[in-house]
A = this chain, B = another copy of it.
């Protein structure tokens, strides 16, 4: 019992329109908690994996597709769209009259690095069979 009290705002019972309808990528947060707000953006199995790939330098759709987790094409397309719309990465056309884009982290996206680093530490500690990320990744600040 470490952090009793002081963590959640007072919220009148009458106010709790269903938070669940306020889902990922919806405008209205399900609470005023920064953790919940973050999870509304990145709380699924794939978004932070794609962000990881952006951190290690991947840019194109086929780069993400080739990652060892083998994401499927419809989920990748859907997630890249959400990531761009959430401002975590920008889309840059790379052909002349393009419908092909490269993705690049924004400042908002780069600020997710401590989360990825913390997950790496937790994952390595509790699942020792996972690989150890490069020291440069673990030490980076952005």
Contacts and interface: CB of A to CB of B under 8 A. Distances in A.
A1 B136 CA distance: 12
12 contacts: A5-B134, A8-B131, A20-B69, A32-B130, A34-B121, A34-B124, A34-B130, A35-B120, A37-B130, A111-B125, A115-B115, A118-B118
By DSSP majority rule, is chain A's interface helix, strand, loop, or mixed?
loop
B8 A68 contact: yes
A69 B30 contact: yes
Interface in A35-58: 35-40, 43-46, 48-49, 52, 55-57
A39 B67 CA distance: 15
Interface stretch (A11-19, A77-85, A89-97): A11-19
B131 A33 contact: yes
A123 to B, nearest CB: 3
A34 B138 CA distance: 12
Given A6-B134, A38-B123, 4 more contacts: A5-B134, A8-B56, A29-B127, A34-B120
